[in-house]
Amino acid sequence: MDAVTAAKDRIDKALGSLERKILDLKARAAGVSGADDDLFAPLPTSADAAARIAELEAAAADAAGALGRAADAVREALAEAEERV
């Protein structure tokens, strides 16, 4: 497997992980009455809503880190490919 394919696989894995986390959080939010996906809605005041926001922020941070590592891997693979030419 070449480096570009390996980097693509890492990106696909990171995106799949992010998608699963988002779907899980949406499924849990659906169980909460009045759940809303409106990003511009007023900030909730309940402890449950605050926990949901914290989970979303943590998932976003995890996804950003995974995608950042995948982007670094793609850059490395492209640099190696350029060196071979």
- % the chain with pLDDT above 90: 0
Mean pLDDT of the chain: 77
Question: So what's the pLDDT on residue 32?
Answer: 54
Domain extents in the chain: 3-29+46-84
Biggest alpha carbon distance in the chain? 59
- Exposure b/e, 12-38, CB count within 10 A at least 16 = b: eebeeebeebeeeeeeebeeeeeeeee
Whole-angstrom distance, CA of residue 8 vs CA of residue 69: 11
**Entry pTM:** 0.48
Q: Which two tokens stand for residue 18?
A: 């992010």
Over residues 23-42, the pLDDT tens digits come to: 777 777 666 544 456 677 66
Contact (CB, 8 A) for 69 and 10: yes
What is the arithmetic mean of pLDDT over 57-84? Answer: 84
